[in-house]
Amino acid sequence: MRSRRPAGARDGDGVDTRDDLVRVAVRLADADGLDAVSVRAVAHRAGLTPDAVYRWVRNRDDLLGAMAEQVLDSGRTPDKEQGTPRERLCRAARAEWSLYRRHPWLLTVLATTRPPVGPGVLALIDGTVTALTDAGYDLPDALAGYLALSGYVQGMALLPVTERAEREAGGAAWGTWWSGTFALLERTGRTRGRDWLTATRPDPTADPDPQVAQWFEFGLARLVDGLVPA
């Protein structure tokens, strides 16, 4: 919906439609996190009065749903139904993963038992359910498969999201934290009998992003193997 600038607006930064307003909210969430997004904050950023914003959105939840719709629409791939069911599942999972990397706040909006149900969210589900029904699943099991796959993506996406939050709160870099934690585990004897710890001895200069991406791909391949055996 591209309703025009409502009465009561002040001179803003090119905010003339509802889409413009939502774009301002997305930029605010990307920069400062979801807690920074309120109707009043978005109105101030957009150069509008709160009353003017309420003519475009009913409340904060309506605004968050519109934000999700906008970023899902921008991240939609036109060839989502091309390829084998396995290829489509991997492509859908990686697309969702990429969205959470670009817009960490989206994870909070979607990872809930009561997500927004706009066209973009429903299309996100449609692609995976259709791939699974094409692979032979009935509709209830296809929906369960979607929940398993999306739940995996969302769970793994929590790692970079929480790491970003730690850095923004002034926490030590991941490599520094992990190196210090490993040293503590060694001193207290808690590495004994845990070869999985000693086999992954940390590098204090390590960047967590490549490691998390590697873990994501490792798990994704095996989850899709279970859903659609090669």
pLDDT of the residue at 77: 62
pLDDT digits (tens, 9 = 90+) for 111-151: 998 999 999 999 989 999 999 999 999 999 999 999 999 99
pLDDT of the residue at 66: 96
pTM score: 0.85
With beta carbons less than 8 A apart as the criterion, state whether 53 and 21 touch.
Answer: yes
Instruction: Please list the helix, strand and coil fractions of the chain in percent, rounded to the nearest 5, in that order.
Output: 65, 0, 30
pLDDT digits (tens, 9 = 90+) for 172-185: 888 889 889 999 99
With beta carbons less than 8 A apart as the criterion, state whether 6 and 52 touch.
Answer: yes
Dist. CA 165–CA 161, nearest whole Å: 6
